[in-house]
Chain A
Amino acid sequence: MFRSKPAGEERRRQFEALAFPQMDALHNLALRLTRHRLDAEDLVQETYLRAFRFFHKFAAGTNFKAWIFRILINTFINEYRRKKRVPPQADFEKTTLSYPQPESERPDQFETDYDERRYADLFGDEVNAALQKLSPEFRMVVLLCDLEEFSYKEIAGIMGVPIGTVMSRLARARRQLQQHLGEYARGTGVIKPQKPAPE
């Protein structure tokens, strides 16, 4: 009576047509947030299933990439909190440092059957190492802005914070990055030696 199978398949096809082009970007961010291959893939899968489940809530014609990134960020934060048993923080801005550092507990271990060279650049050089030293929220905002090239408004939507918070978090994240990179950057001449900026 109702062509259930074709309808479901049609829905899945529509979803895949929008979602699969974002796979590299989502996987990349997931990898940088979880720092672990299996966790990253689980996070991407969870993101896709949740997005598929709530696909009807996505308004056609609006920004799908921002929409699915928001789901990934939310999934990451929820999972991260659940796994680490960190109670929800009322004030994100003031508590960014209260996140435990799972990276130190579990060094990056990629399976041997995996192409390790593929990820050598990802965390290998100083810039990426410095990026990994940032707290997840700071890392997120930098990657969303500079790598994925979202606007502040989109980032605000993705992270569920006001635009002003995006702006200040980004500025602080870049300042921290600059501190981590100080020696490296001066050494390679990217940053000219200058007296420190007044705060």
Chain B
Amino acid sequence: MTLDCAQVTARAAAFIDRELDEATAAAVAEHVEKCPNCVQEVQQQRQMKLLVQQHARRVTAPASLRVRLQQALVDYPARYGFVEQVRQLFRWQPVPALATLAVLLVLPGLLVYFAMRAPGSAAAGRFHAIEASVEGEIICIDCIVLDELQLAHGHDASHRFGLRTTEGRILTILAFEKGNELMQQAALMDKHRVLVHGRLLPERSCVQVRDFSML
């Protein structure tokens, strides 16, 4: 590679700053050896660099500046708005950020899901039911309760049957399937002791009769 004076002059700064690739640096060096004008250009660039390095020495920043900067950085979050603070908050914590996002997305979904699901399946979903056999007697709820309240007069309509368990709880017999059959038989036969098998709904004090036997 051979370079003319203009090319060498243009590369003089880069030459003394060691910013040229090897081949170009060698070409500049070769040219400079034979060319007094270019020698001067290169020397002047080098001398200016040396002068700046020798004279433009650094001053130490005042201690007060460090204190001021530290305070400015501590105060920094207060200088910016909520959105900025949230961004700052999650910038270094990708896991909580994703977790929050997931919760924010999933939570409304779950709420909507349960809200829609609840009314349709209230009995099955919300009340617990027990399959059980219960011994007791068929009674008229009105008669029993009025008696317990010590009110002398009888009730107006026909009897309403219930099952009083041996522990003394009164369960309403749901009026379908075997329930109706049980109440009819109890009324006809005047036989009150009974063993009922079925589904107990304790919170509603009801029993859904699946099967029964008179005792």
Contacts and interface: CB of A to CB of B under 8 A. Distances in A.
Partners in one complex: yes
A12 interface: yes
A41 to B, nearest CB: 6
B93 A27 contact: no
Interface string A4-23: 10011011100110001001
Interface stretch (A45-53, A61-69, A88-96): A45-53
Interface in B26-78: 37, 40-41, 44-45, 47-62, 65-66, 68-70, 72-74, 76-77
Interface residues of A, number: 60
A24 B60 contact: yes
Contacts of A8: 77, 88-89
Given A12-B74, A122-B59, A171-B13, A48 B69 contact: yes
Nearest to A190: B47
A13 to B, nearest CB: 10
A7 B93 CA distance: 8
A11 B84 CA distance: 14
A143 B57 CA distance: 10
B83 to A, nearest CB: 13
A105 interface: no
B96 interface: yes
B12 interface: yes
A197 to B, nearest CB: 5
- Interface of A: prevailing SS: helix
B51 A185 contact: yes
Contacts of A175: 44
B9 to A, nearest CB: 8
A170 interface: yes
Nearest to B74: A12
Contact of A143 (B12, B56, B73): B56
Contacts of A151: 19
A198 B5 contact: yes
Interface string B1-13: 0000100011111
A167 B51 contact: no
Nearest to B89: A4
B49 A152 contact: no
Contacts of A143: 52, 56
Given A2-B89, A8-B77, A23-B69, A146 B47 contact: no
B126 interface: no
B68 A25 contact: no
A158 B61 CA distance: 22
Contacts of B11: 167
A84 to B, nearest CB: 24
A112 interface: no
Nearest to A28: B58
Interface in A149-199: 151-152, 167-168, 170-171, 174-175, 177-178, 181, 185, 190-191, 194-195, 197-199
Interface string B85-108: 000111111001000100000000
B214 interface: no
B147 to A, nearest CB: 60
B4 to A, nearest CB: 12
B42 to A, nearest CB: 10
A128 B55 contact: yes
B14 interface: yes
Contacts of B48: 142, 174, 177-178, 181
A71 B57 CA distance: 22
A168 B10 contact: yes
Contacts of A178: 44, 47-48
8 contacts: A45-B68, A114-B62, A127-B55, A145-B49, A146-B53, A171-B12, A181-B48, A185-B47
6 smallest A-B Cβ distances: which pairs? A127-B55, A27-B61, A171-B13, A174-B48, A146-B52, A28-B58
